[in-house]
Chain A
Amino acid sequence: MDNFANLTNQHRRYKAHVSILGTTQLHLRNPYIIAWWSAAFPGFGHLLLSKYLRGYTLFIWEVVVNVQANLNAAMIDSFQGKPEVAKADLHPRWMLMYIPVFIFGIWDSYRTCIDMNNVHLLAERENAPFNTYTVGATEINYLDRRNPVMSVIWSLFMPGLGQLHIHRILTAFFSLVWAIVFLYKSRLLEAVQFLFLGDIHMSTEVLNAEWLLFMPSVWGFAVYDSYINTVENNKLYESEQRNFLRKNYQSRSFRIKKGKVVGR
């Protein structure tokens, strides 16, 4: 059950929508930062923009083609200054199809971000009412203030938990599932255990480099996405409450009177 439904169709743009699966909102974003996340991992730029289906498509495409083309292994060898090994790593059958989609992801998220910034400005000025509360069989979601630091801390422990904290179910589920895949395939946690035992050599030995290279982007994205969305959800909460107070508690007949402040 929602507290707002667009039945009259009299508004042109809405700046937010509170639904069972999460709080979706337009807010100003830096298009270069969005483009950077698309470069770090295709799909992340779109997920930051709440364009989930495009984001999922690009993300899954990236994992499949990257692994088949052996791209991460080639990156590691290139960073280590071994271009000859890197050349041998790559599978040309897969590698060439990587390039156009990779660039598309960056370009499209950059372009979409600028468009959505403009839409946001118009929606903010129009200030149309939007759904701020929903309760259903599976979930309850409402506008609220949350602590961005807690989103960061939980995202560092496990990508996806920061998104659960602010009820961003679609990103939370996706991040959790892929963090499991990458953590398991990279054997990162076994390597950490060896580090605790003080055996750096065994720790390096046990790691699967190719899968490990996905993790920094996943962690960085999870932290950044949960942090900025907590901040933006808080701002949305404040602006909605401001509208509510203006509408309900500014009676025309109210007179502010002169007098003396009474001490206790």
Chain B
Amino acid sequence: MIQVMSTFEHSVRLELAISALEINGIQKQNIFAVPLNNRTVDRRLLDTLHHSDGVSLFSTGAAIATAFAVIGASIGFSLQWGPIYWGLIGATSGFLLGFLIDLFITRVVKKRSRLLKGKNPQVILIVECDNKQADSVEDILWHYLALGVARVET
């Protein structure tokens, strides 16, 4: 017997892979999936009651951008560049200011471990099959964009 181990991101392709394996004669009880807790998903409730991960770098920026755009456009009516340019300047500078505030808070004040850049393995999928089937199982896993695949012979 062979066990083919693989890692996937959460996506509809993972379910396509499982369904393709089942069509190819792999029994449901021979497929074992382990969803992993990724770093930022594993959140402490009290710390995040007023925050949701990944969003916080955006909230303050959007809020200050809107405020500065209103003020910039208003004052812009009596300035040489006019309200549109000053509104855009207000929005951009407001967003950058808010973004920097949030960045400072997360990087310096909270020092929270953030999600690694790029694709992360989120699910471990183990498929048990005969030696004969191993090639086709591995092909199916790669075809549906497994991040890594290895065979273990027992």
Report if A and B associate in a common complex: yes
Tell me the minimal C-beta distance from A163 to chain B in angstroms. 15
Contacting A249 at CB < 8 Å: which of B12, B32, B81? B32
The complex places the Cα of A6 from the Cα of B59 at a distance, in Å, of: 35
Whether B84 pairs with A191 at a CB distance below 8 angstroms is: yes
CA distance A250 to B35 in the complex (A): 10
Residues of chain B in range 27-82 having any CB-CB distance to chain A below 8 Å? 28-35, 41, 45, 48-52, 54-56, 58-60, 62-63, 65-67, 69-71, 73-78, 80-82
Q: Chain A nearest CB: distance from B2 CB in Å?
A: 8
- Expressed in whole angstroms, the Cα–Cα distance for A28 and B43 within the complex equals 12
- Interface residue range, chain B: 35 or more
Task: Please tell me if B113 contacts chain A, counting CB pairs below 8 Å.
Answer: no
Taking a contact as CB atoms under 8 Å apart, the answer to whether A80 and B55 are in contact is no
When each residue 158-190 of chain A gets 1 if its CB lies under 8 Å from chain B and 0 otherwise, what string results? 000000000000000000000000000000100
Known: A195-B84, A261-B151. A241 touches B14 (CB 8 A): yes
Q: Is B146 an interface residue (CB 8 A)?
A: no
Smallest Cβ-Cβ distance to A199: which chain B residue = B82
Give Cα A249–Cα B152 distance, bound, in whole angstroms.
19
A244 CA / B123 CA spacing, docked (Å): 12
With A30-B59, A238-B122, A241-B10 given, is the CB distance from A213 to B74 under 8 Å? yes
Q: How far is the CA of A145 from the CA of B151 in the complex (A)?
A: 29
Chain A interface residues (CB < 8 Å from chain B): 27-33, 36-37, 40, 75-76, 79-80, 117, 121, 144-145, 188, 191-192, 195, 200-201, 203-204, 207, 209, 212-213, 216-217, 219-221, 223-224, 227-228, 231-232, 235, 237-238, 241-242, 244-246, 248-251, 253-254, 256-262
Beyond the given A228-B59, A238-B122, please list 11 additional residue pairs across the A-B interface where CB-CB is below 8 A.
A27-B52, A30-B50, A200-B85, A209-B74, A212-B87, A223-B62, A224-B62, A245-B35, A250-B34, A253-B29, A256-B3
Q: Which residues of B contact A (CB under 8 A)?
A: 1-3, 10-12, 14-15, 18, 28-35, 41, 45, 48-52, 54-56, 58-60, 62-63, 65-67, 69-71, 73-78, 80-85, 87, 90-91, 122-123, 125-126, 128, 150-154
